[in-house]
């Protein structure tokens, strides 16, 4: 299976890498959500080759088996503007080398549930359901959970205008995904989306 990629390096020394990555991912999401690209919606994966404990690193990579969809993504105005302003260094589209290590960058929705805002929304919904059913609601104490390290990437929703956070974890794997399918933000998930991306 041939895979293609291009990468974007964030050039400012003190950049907020997560913020810039979120804008790149929003650009990709908007591009793939267009009607003409619908059949490719889940075919582009996102990688962070310079991921570390502090941040996601200064490099984001877009990977796909479909060179044509990467070409369309490559020419998005946001990337061109950031290149012209000297903020991004964008590589040409190339074949992924053979024999590289693969990983999954997983969007873990469970992490979001441990934050207070999410807890309040879930309690409010449970109270409304109980009231509608005429039953009482007794909140259950939350179980303590531990998570492997993760980074938070802010995303602006084009449809709602709201900002939300993607909680991303890196998992190394020995096998390249048989069906390289990703969610609409380019990530694997704990269940449905199992796509892998190269790290080099």
Mean pLDDT of 94-103: 94
Is 16 contained in some domain? yes
Of all residues in the chain, the percent with pLDDT exceeding 90 is: 62
Query: Closest Cα to residue 122, out of 112, 108, 132?
Result: 112
Is 136 contained in some domain? no
Is 146 contained in some domain? no
Query: Looking at the 3D structure of the chain, how many domains does it have?
Result: 1
- Looking at per-residue pLDDT, the higher value among 34 and 134 belongs to 34
> Could you tell me the CATH number of the domain that includes residue 74?
3.30.70.2540
Is 141 contained in some domain? no
Query: With bands split at pLDDT 50, 70 and 90, how would you rate the model's confidence at 69?
Result: very high
Query: With bands split at pLDDT 50, 70 and 90, how would you rate the model's confidence at 168?
Result: very high
Is 116 contained in some domain? no
Is 154 contained in some domain? no
What pLDDT, on a 0 to 100 scale, did the predictor assign at position 179? Answer: 65
Of all residues in the chain, the percent with pLDDT exceeding 70 is: 84
Q: Tell me, letter by letter, the H, E, C secondary structure of 131-174.
A: HHHCCCCCCCCCCCCCCCCCEEEEEECCCCCCEEEEEEEEEEEC
What pLDDT, on a 0 to 100 scale, did the predictor assign at position 188? Answer: 93
Is 183 contained in some domain? yes
Tens digits of per-residue pLDDT, 145-155?
A: 565 789 999 99
What pLDDT, on a 0 to 100 scale, did the predictor assign at position 117? Answer: 56
Mean pLDDT of 105-111: 87
Burial-class residue 53 by CB neighbours within 10 Å (0-12, 13-18, 19+): exposed
What pLDDT, on a 0 to 100 scale, did the predictor assign at position 55? Answer: 95
Cβ atoms within 10 Å, residue 194: 18
**Parent domain of 14:** 4-107+172-199
What pLDDT, on a 0 to 100 scale, did the predictor assign at position 5? Answer: 98
Is 91 contained in some domain? yes
């Amino acid at each position: 299976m041939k895979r293609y990629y291009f990468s974007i390096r964030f050039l400012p020394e003190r950049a907020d890498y997560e913020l810039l990555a979120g804008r790149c991912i929003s650009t990709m999401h908007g591009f793939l959500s267009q009607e003409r690209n619908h059949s490719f919606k889940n075919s582009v994966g996102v990688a962070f080759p310079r991921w570390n404990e502090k941040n996601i690193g200064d490099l984001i990579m877009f990977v796909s088996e479909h060179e044509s969809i990467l070409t369309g993504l490559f020419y998005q105005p946001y990337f061109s503007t950031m290149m012209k302003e000297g903020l991004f260094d964008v590589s040409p589209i190339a074949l992924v080398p053979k024999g590289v290590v693969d990983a999954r960058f997983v969007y873990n929705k469970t992490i979001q549930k441990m934050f207070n805002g999410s807890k309040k929304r879930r309690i409010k919904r449970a109270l409304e359901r109980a009231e509608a059913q005429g039953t009482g609601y007794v909140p259950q104490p939350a179980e303590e959970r531990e998570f492997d390290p993760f980074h938070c990437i802010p995303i602006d929703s084009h449809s709602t205008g709201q900002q939300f956070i993607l909680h991303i974890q890196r998992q190394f794997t020995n096998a390249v995904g048989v069906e390289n399918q990703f969610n609409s933000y380019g990530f694997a998930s704990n269940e449905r989306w199992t796509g892998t991306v190269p790290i080099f």
